[in-house]
Every structure is written in C-alpha cells, then in structure tokens.
Amino acid sequence: RDGRVLARALAHAAAAAGQLLRKMLALVGRPGLCSASVRSRGMLALVLAVVGAVPALAADATCTVEGQEHLLMQLWPTQSSSAQTSKQSAAQTYKEPVLLPEEYDEGTDDEELHASFYSVFTCPPQSHQNEAHSVPLPDSSFVPVLASHPPGKEAVEQAIVIIHGAPREEEGYFNDMAKIVRQHKKDGNTLVVAPTWPDKGCSAAAWSSRRESQLHDDSQTPFWSSVRRWMYGGPANNANISSFEALDSVVDWIQANYPRLQRLVVTGFSAGAQFLVRWAALSSEGANGVTRRGGLPLRIIAGSPSTVLYLSEERPDAACVPDKDGGRHWKCTNFSNPMDGRNCGKNWNRYPNGLGGLHQAASSPGHIRYTANEYLLKSISPYDHSAAGVRKEVRDRWATKDVRFLFGEWDLWHCDIGACANDCEFMLQGTSRLQRGLNFMSYLKWEFRGSQPLWGVFHHGHNYKGAYSSHVFTTWA
C-alpha cells in the first residue's frame, strides 16, 4: 500500500515534468518514442529507471501494436518469488480515454479519445479468415464476427460471446477465449463468437468468402468512429443503428444457426464491460434470465468496467469514495442524491451515467442519448415513457436478469492519474475501478433490498486474460 501511495505521488510529478519533456522532443523534431501520442509519464518512468533515480522502481514503458502505452510501475523490492512476479504482472495498466457525457457529443469527437486508442480492426481479419462470418442487420448491413464453429454445427451446446475492449482487438480476445475453452476441454461443444464494432467500413466480400443470403458483396458494416459511440449504444456513423441493436442481432444469429444450442454467455472486459452494463440495463435480452426470441438461458458477465450505469439518482456517499485503497473487502452502506455539495452540473445523472434523459428525445438525431433513448423505448410496453415509467421498467427488468461482475483485486490505480475516466460525474462512483465496482455491488444490494448481487474477484490488476482464466469466470461460463 505504501508503494501505491508513492507511485501516485511519482505519477503526479511525472505528469508535470512530462509536459516539459514533450515540448523538448517537439523542439528537436521528435514526436515521441513510438508515436505523436506517446505517454509522457511512461517516458519519465523509463528515464528514472535507467538512471537509477528510484532504485526500487521497476518501470517498463512500451508501445503496443494498438498504439497504446502500457506502464508497469512497481515499487515493491525486486524479488524472485512467484507471488512477487504475480503482483508485478497484475499492476500493468493503461490510460483510458476521457469518456464525455452526451452533451459534449454535439460537436467534434474528443481528440484525447482518439489519441489514447488506435483501433486494430482489420478487414479482412489478419489470421482468422476461416472463422470470419457476417451477421445480417435489418438495413442490409452486417456485423463482422469471428466464430469458432461454422453455422449449423450440431455439436454446439453453449456459446460465449466476447466483447472487445477500446482498441477493438477482437482477434486477440477471440484467440485467448478459444484457448481457455480448449484448456478446459470444452471446445467440442462450446462456440466462441467475437463481434466487432468497427471504426471504418468493410464490405461483405472483403470480410468473408461466405455470404449470408440477404447480403451482397458490397454490403457494408456499420462503423463507430469513437469508442464512446459504440460503448454507450450510440449510432453508427453511416447507419441509423445502435451498437446495442447490433449485439441483439448477434444473439439472434447464434440461436438461428446452431440448432442444439442450450445456453449463452455474453461477456466483456473494460470498455467491453462498460458496454455490457448499459446493454444489460436497456435491452430486453436476458429478461427473466432468457433470450427474448429463443428463450434460452442468458448470462451476462462484466469484467472490470471503468464506469457503470446507476438505476436511480442516488450515488455512494462522499465517505464511500475516499482517495485511498480499500481493498477487495470494501463496502459502502450509504447512498444519497449528490446534489448536496458534490454537484457535477446537469450531467451527473444523465445517460450514460444514470437514466436521466432516457424518457424523452432529449437530444438531436445522430447522437448517443437520442439513439439509446430510441432503442430503450422500442421495448417498453405498455407505453409509459415518463421518467418514472422508464426507471421502473429498467429497474424491474434488471432484477430478473442474470448479470454478474468480475473485479481485479489489484485494479487499484487512481482515476486521477489516468487509470480510468475521471470526469466529475464518474468520480462520484469511486476513485479506482475496484472501488467503483465494489461500490456498485453495495448499491445493487441497497437498491434491491433482500437480494445479493453476484460478483467475484480475480488475482490480477486490469488484465482480461487474468479475468477470463480465473476460477470464478470459468465456473460461471
């Protein structure tokens, strides 16, 4: 814990010094070690490690193919024990984009969002042409997916749909989930499906040699230029379709093409989990624990979301969001309306932070909340579209769904130093991913008196491989 406190202090100092480093690099004509968006904190940490200014600091700032930087900063003394190695691996993290509320989506896309993440989506897929399939959408476009078994395979009894993270690295998620399924000797009857919410168009002919009957060679994918558009159920840039509708179509496609399917699991990690939490709240899929069309058991597993969607105006009291690590046993017992001195302006409870604004077309067509509003209201019957009616519908449906959560025990980096979204309205949820997740578990127990939310902890930091290889996930899935 002392190491984490020191790491935070170092990161704050590095952030200031990094601004000077960036300017110096610009003056000499060098945009950065790997790209113009290289993270100054990572650079400074690397310099400190090389010159030995902090002997106990083990730092590694590297650039991945996604164009992100993964900063591994450990202040524990170097040891050879396996436990120490596990802790060091768990601390690896990356900076999430600033996720702005819907009001800020009226103008141009947030530059920081694009600087933080570079999509790795490729059309056709780099190494999975044989697993590439096209899921038709109502407007004759399609969702590109990777599927571990071809449509029609009768041996398939269960499906795991895995939602990628912010860099849209569906091939990596697909590979790793398929590997975990093989390790548990379930690959014969388990289908792994990895859909993509692309950032650019892709034709059916380019994506896959197999063609659905209702698609043409020039049929195109919808695409979402920014992370927040697909993560919050926003509209595609080139089509009037929500990313939530796209996932609904994937669920329908799986049921239609695998005749002996008995159950589905839909899971996502990080940005994928933020997407799933909101889809679980707004979609009619999973109500009463089953799919809306086939009536098959549907389980939703969200891993380490940076932010969640609260179902009422209450948030954790100020005492529940301290600037310190409370560990895996953290609990919050008091929730109240944060207008009492912690007001974040008019946005604090508006979607995607809460349910505010979803009872009416509170924005113009083509923006996130407008599209999420349309998506939700299509499934509410009888048609009580008042604020109270929307809240009751969402809350009542959530209570019947099988939604579970996974949190990294060492996912403790403070959001103010770039570990997760630190907008005012999101900081009301907590100061780290783990704290936010545990606060939300306490909230669900408080909101649904007498119930116990299902959640588990895995022994890593912000690491999707650690989450999906954990005993908790493999038992649930």
Amino acid found at 316 = P
* Distance (Å, whole) CA 431 – CA 458: 19
Q: How would you write 145-195 as a 3-class SS string?
A: EEECCCCCCCCCCEEEEEECCCCCCHHHHHHHHHHHHHHCCCCCCEEEEEE
**Tokens (6 digits) for 468:** 């999906």
pLDDT tens-place string over residues 168-178: 999 999 999 99
Q: Which residues fall within 8 angstroms of residue 149, CB to CB, at 6 or more apart?
A: 155, 156, 191, 258
pLDDT at 216: 86
Residue in this structure with the two tokens 């669900």, named with its chain if needed: 444
* Distance (Å, whole) CA 28 – CA 37: 16
* Distance (Å, whole) CA 257 – CA 152: 5
Give Rg (Cα) of the chain: 22
* Distance (Å, whole) CA 405 – CA 3: 28
DSSP E strands in 255-321: the ranges are: 263-269, 298-303, 315-316
Its pTM stands at 0.78
DSSP 396-461: HHHHHSEEEEEEETT----GGGTSS---HHHHTT-SSHHHHHHHHHHHHHHHSTT---EEEEESSS
Amino acid found at 415 = C
In this predicted structure, the answer to whether residue 217 has a pLDDT above a threshold of 80 is yes
Q: Enumerate the β-bridge partners of residue 69.
A: 63
pLDDT tens-place string over residues 419-440: 788 888 999 999 999 999 999 9
pLDDT tens-place string over residues 100-157: 333 333 322 332 333 345 568 899 898 898 999 999 998 889 999 999 999 999 999 9
pLDDT tens-place string over residues 246-294: 999 999 999 999 999 999 999 999 999 999 999 999 999 999 999 999 9
pLDDT at 99: 35
